[in-house]
Amino acid sequence: GAGVSQSPSNKVTEKGKDVELRCDPISGHTALYWYRQSLGQGLEFLIYFQGNSAPDKSGLPSDRFSAERTGGSVSTLTIQRTQQEDSAVYLCASSTGQWVYNEQFFGPGTRLTVL
Amino acid sequence: ILNVEQSPQSLHVQEGDSTNFTCSFPSSNFYALHWYRWETAKSPEALFVMTLNGDEKKKGRISATLNTKEGYSYLYIKGSQPEDSATYLCALMDSNYQLIWGAGTKLIIKP
């Protein structure tokens, strides 16, 4: 079946512009996660959704970052007034729910470059 | 704040040799430990989910053990092959069912 998809796969933008990243989770998965990997770093948790609600936004690095999820499916991560330090690979993952055995299925990522 | 540590940070292994590396975590209030493999230019993929002390899981040449009392898990690869080159991530599940990720062990198999 279809896995997690993300778009765009690559995004180059100028400093100060807004960008929107999209994630389509696996159908039926209620939990959705956003991570990023900066150059040379590990996985950094940003935010997760259970359904359309985001119980934990603690990982968002600044108020320039926001995310929403509609219809319990597609999610968008928006970065306003991008900065060079926002350059990273942004990964989305989904799982069937909040359960210890739930593995997370990852999308291919969006590589964001802020010039 | 839960801290998950992996060692070593990177590892070079000759093709055909076996290897192992470690994931350490706080031993209190354990829920589950996940192992993932992250190949370059691909997305992380789940290898194992481990929940019970003494658990041992196996998938082909890769296996993992879990000691929740002392707070560690080992990942073993037998007879390393070039396709095993990847970053291996462990992640501890907390009481909110969130995964706390380690920084990973980068494994490079030398032909």
Q: How far apart are CA A99 and CA B64, in angstroms?
A: 21
Confirm if B25 and B4 have CB atoms less than 8 A apart.
yes
Q: Higher model confidence: residue A12 or residue B96?
A: A12
pLDDT single digits (tens) A56-111: 788 899 999 999 999 889 999 999 999 999 999 999 999 987 677 778 999 999 99
Q: Which comes out higher in pLDDT, residue A99 or A31?
A: A31
pLDDT of B84 above 60: yes
- Which of B31, B101, B103 minimises the CB distance to A100? B31
Helix segments in chain A, DSSP class H = none
A110-114 and A88-95 beta bridge pairing: antiparallel
State the pLDDT at residue B1: 67
Structure tokens that stand for B48 in this block:
């194992």
CA distances (Å), origin A17, targets A36, A60, A95, B76, B97: 19, 18, 31, 46, 35
% of chain B at pLDDT higher than 90:
80
Residue A96 confidence (pLDDT): 87
Q: Could you say which of A43, A106, A108 has the minimum Cβ distance to residue B101?
A: A43
Query: Tell me, what's the pLDDT at A106?
Result: 94
Least confident of B8-12, B94-98, B100-104: B94-98
What would the mean pLDDT of A45-62 be, rounded to a whole number? 88
Residue B92's pLDDT band (cuts 50, 70, 90): very high
pLDDT in tens, B99-108: 889 999 999 9
| A1 has pLDDT over 60 | no
Residue the block writes with tokens 């040379």: A40
Give pLDDT, residue A108. Answer: 92
Q: Which of B98, B100, B101, B105 to mutate to test the interface with A (most CBs of A within 10 A)?
A: B98
User: Which residues of A are less than 8 Å from B97 in CB distance?
Assistant: 98-100, 102
